[in-house]
Amino acid sequence: MTNYPTGVQEPPKSAIKLPRKGNKFNAHKMSIDGHQFDSKAEGAYYLHLKNLKLDFKIHEKFETLPSFDLQNHMEEDK
């Protein structure tokens, strides 16, 4: 602890509570039908699509392509 010239002592670090940092968009996570959504709007959109009875995939896994070499198409003629 540090003693200030005014006689006041610095409070211990454990006594200082920092405010919790919330979500940037103030979104709240929610779960519908076992699926986790990052916001209420995403959950509402899921329910909208479900009510329309559209064929859609949720949280589809994507696969990256393996790397490959490009051929040089611009060969200079000498």
Is residue 37, in this structure, part of any structural domain at all? yes
- Dihedral sign computed on CA atoms, order 30, 36, 37, 42: negative
Ranges of beta strands (E only) in the chain are 30-32, 35-37
Q: Are 9 and 3 in contact (CB under 8 A)?
A: yes
Does the predicted TM-score (pTM) go above 0.75? no
Is residue 46, in this structure, part of any structural domain at all? yes
Is residue 13, in this structure, part of any structural domain at all? no
pLDDT at residue number 47: 92
Confidence band for 9, pLDDT divided at 50, 70 and 90: confident
15-74 confidence digits (pLDDT tens): 677 777 777 888 889 999 999 999 999 999 999 999 998 887 877 788 888 888 877 666
Q: Domain range holding 37? A: 26-51
pLDDT at residue number 1: 56
pLDDT at residue number 25: 83
Give the chain's domain count: 1
pLDDT at residue number 41: 92
Residue 42: Cβ-neighbour burial (10 angstroms; 0-12, 13-18, 19+): middle
